[in-house]
Amino acid sequence: MLQLVRSGAAATTSEIATLMSVARSTVAERIELLVRNGLLVPDGEVALGRGRPPMRYAFNAGAGLVLAVQLGMSGSRVAITDLSAQVLMSRTVDVNLSLGPHRVFATVLDTLDEHLLAIGAARDQLRGVGLGIPGSTELAAVRTTGRRGPRQWEAFDVSGHMRGALEVPVYVDQDVNLMALAEQRSSFPNARVFACVKVGTTIGCGIVINGQVFRGGTGLAGAIAHTPVKGSTAQCDCGNLGCLNATASGAALVTRLRRADGESALSARELSQRAAAGDIEAIQAIRQGGRELGEVLAGVVNLLNPEALAVWGYLDDAGDYLLAGVRESIYTGALPAASESVTIAHAALGDDAGVQGAATAVLEEILTPSVVDGWIYHAETRA
């Protein structure tokens, strides 16, 4: 019933009863329980003319909170959302993964408490935690230096650690999968086959098919970062030469430009701003990176025939140059019929894409009949 109201499929007792083929009295009883526990709220009456108008009900997204986190190689996003994955508070914290998981999660929990304080809420209102982490290859390459329990990320039980700290269900997935989920839900709800490419410190691709994240046989689907690019011999973290990651990621583009003009440290964001300001070398580096990315994505388009492909990245200011390069390669490298039918666009959600996806994923896990029954049982027996 909650799902029917949440999705907008039904709003009144009789609509729910019809859709579920159960007696109205059964529905009424259950609605009363959901209203008493704050999960549904009366939402006005339906004007129908004669007789007592039926009451409409709406899902109460304020009935709980979700902690949504995206751990990044350069900065992590920590957010609180309501039960409809709407971001209430969100901030990027400057915490380096090389400090080790204990230090990183201590910072995440401190930020959670700051957010809760700011909105006048408490930890016991949390219903779940959604967590996006970098790909396993990237995580394994992080050299931890933390003194307090300097454990390697690959040996660390992320989910168990957070469940132990907050005592709510925890959902962990790769960040690109969660970004893809959020982008698909918000910008391309009708796309049955959708891919979202993240161009950050590293490159990754999340795939959503028929509304579900597609992970492949062992969770490695979309690892395009390690697809070789024609003519490239750049050394990659994975041990191979010429991987897309080593030639077109934010980090690689910065190195490329640095080599060209002999200049020192520049961040991917600065590179992007320079291109936006008209710096020819920066524009050329980004456009060439886009071509190389597009070369690999042409294969993705041929394989999956997606209806939409979104590109998310730190190169936002100069995103058009990147997209121009991507389009150029896809139109020459993919089957014309497949490339003509795919919409290639900027991701729309910006910095909160990952946390919104993390919240969406954990909510889909917890707003199920058995979990909701558990909340209600707990609340009713306590009262």
The residues binding Zn ion (CB under 5 A) are 226, 236, 238, 240, 243
Nearer to Zn ion among residue 30 and residue 226 (C-beta): 226
Smallest gap, in angstroms, from Cβ of residue 143 to Zn ion?
17
Nearer to Zn ion among residue 236 and residue 367 (C-beta): 236
Nearer to Zn ion among residue 144 and residue 202 (C-beta): 202
Which region, left, alpha or beta, applies to residue 311 given φ > 0 means left and ψ of -120 to 50 means alpha? beta
Q: Give the CA distances from residue 61 to residues 7, 33, 87, 116, 323, in Å, rounded to whole numbers and listed in that order.
A: 12, 16, 11, 16, 36
Smallest gap, in angstroms, from Cβ of residue 217 to Zn ion?
19
Nearer to Zn ion among residue 226 and residue 291 (C-beta): 226
Q: Give the CA distances from residue 53 to residues 15, 17, 48, 56, 280, in Å, rounded to whole numbers and listed in that order.
A: 13, 16, 6, 9, 66
The length of the chain is 383
Smallest gap, in angstroms, from Cβ of residue 291 to Zn ion?
19
Smallest gap, in angstroms, from Cβ of residue 175 to Zn ion?
18
Smallest gap, in angstroms, from Cβ of residue 176 to Zn ion?
15
Distance CA 242, CA 124 (A): 49
Nearer to Zn ion among residue 226 and residue 256 (C-beta): 226
Nearer to Zn ion among residue 13 and residue 247 (C-beta): 247
Smallest gap, in angstroms, from Cβ of residue 245 to Zn ion?
5
